[in-house]
Amino acid sequence: MKIWRSLLFVPANQERMLNKLDSLPADGFIFDLEDTIPDPEKNNARQMTLDVMPKVKGDRSWVRVNGLSTGFMHEDLDALIGAPGLTGLIVPKMDSLADVNTVDKLMASLEIRRGLTVGSTPIIVMMESAGGVLDSRAIMTSSPRIQTMIYGGGEDGDMNVSLGATWTSPGPEMMFVRQFSLVSARAANFDCPLDGVFANVKDPEGFRSDTQLSKRLGYRGRTVIHPNQIEDANNIYTPTAAQIEYYSRVVNAYQEALTRGVASTTVDGKLVDLAMSKTAQRLLDHVAAIKNIEAITGFVGKA
The binding site consists of 64, 128, 156
d(CA 159, CA 180): 13
d(CA 148, CA 123): 8
Distances (CA, A) of 288 to 17, 86, 194, 235, 244: 30, 24, 18, 15, 11
d(CA 265, CA 157): 48
Annotated binding site for substrate: 64, 128
Q: Which of 182, 186, 122, 110 is nearest to 152 (CA)?
A: 182
How many CB atoms neighbour CB 39 within 10 A?
A: 10
User: Pairing state of beta strands 221-224 and 6-11?
Assistant: parallel
Annotated binding site for Mg(2+): 128, 156
